[in-house]
Amino acid sequence: MTSDDTTTEATEASAESAEEDDRFLIGVRAADGSEVTFRIRPTTQVQRVMSAYCLKIGQPTDAIRFLYDGDRIKGEQSAEELGLAPGDTIDAVIHQTGS
């Protein structure tokens, strides 16, 4: 193994660990106070979190509305676009329609 090979391997290992390090935890909290935690990257579309949360609680995705700082979240937005930071919480509320 040459020093160039060693340098390349070290660079690749650093890149992989940097990718793992940029992930952070956010919570999704229901109205009853229960919270589910997810580990995401800043570039993760929140639709993935929304779908995983609905699957976990056994509800269809169109039955739950997701809010961050009081504003409704669109699934195509990334965590970075929303300004989500480690430890932030998204509120999940049941969508109700009037009769």
pLDDT tens-digit series, residues 3-32: 555 444 554 555 555 555 799 999 999 999
Q: What is the pLDDT of residues 46-80, one digit of tens each?
A: 999 999 999 999 999 999 999 999 999 999 999 99
Q: Give the pair of three-digit tokens for residue 5.
A: 């090979």
Domains and their CATH numbers in the chain: 23-94 (3.10.20.90)
| Burial (0-12, 13-18, 19+ Cβ within 10 Å), 53 | buried
